[in-house]
Amino acid sequence: GPIETTDPVTIRSVARLLHRLHSAPEVPGTFDLPSVIEDYISTAKRFNVTHPGQLGEALKFSGEIVNAIERCSRVSAPCHNDLIAANFLQGKDRLYLLDWEYAGMGDPYVDLGNCAVNFCMDEAGCRALMESYLGREPSPSEMAQLHLLRVLSDLREAMWSYVQVGISTLDVDFHAYGMKHLERFLDNAKSDSLNTWLGAVGA
């Protein structure tokens, strides 16, 4: 059945499942988050979608995040890249991960950050996720990488939404959905925490 995203036992199971996935043999395809965001922006422009005025400011912050993340050598591992709660299924004795449309080789922290934002994890939830994933206490640098990619996940979701504004035939207000994620990205990017995390990567 569906999973309970705030349940500590579930978070531990999810973390262990992601660890198994990220330790699996190489898979076809790649998923590079900064490139994906750029692709979404150019695709939306091709469909004559008007991006919000805050996009320039958002890209300045995303550039800072990407530069900080790249101070640590990145690992390439099989990643799912769409870790919404609905893509997890709790079986009788194990947890299943569904919908592999975005899967490819990528940065495990992109998966971890995507999971953390989609599960609306607070600091304690993020720490529990990392402890179970690593099998030990996370370092300040590891927590910072999780948080930065958790924040950046919202910019990806916002830019995906603007592509949908151009191409989707669904009766969904993708513009409003995109603005919600863009505003949350900017709120997090302007918080005092961001500078702390930027400074902690690789320290």
Provide the token pair at 202: 């690789």
- Residues 176-197: tens digit of each pLDDT: 999 999 999 999 999 999 999 9
- Residues 27-75: tens digit of each pLDDT: 999 999 999 999 999 999 999 999 999 999 999 999 999 999 999 989 9
pTM for the model stands at 0.95
Contacts of residue 133, defined as CB under 8 A and 6 or more positions apart, other chains included, come to: 15, 16, 18, 19, 112
Give the start-to-end residue ranges of the domains of the chain: 8-200
Q: For 137-184, give the DSSP string.
A: PPPHHHHHHHHHHHHHHHHHHHHHHHHHHHH--SS--HHHHHHHHHHH
Architecture of domain 8-200: Alpha-Beta Complex (3.90)
> Which residues pair with residue 60 across a beta bridge?
none
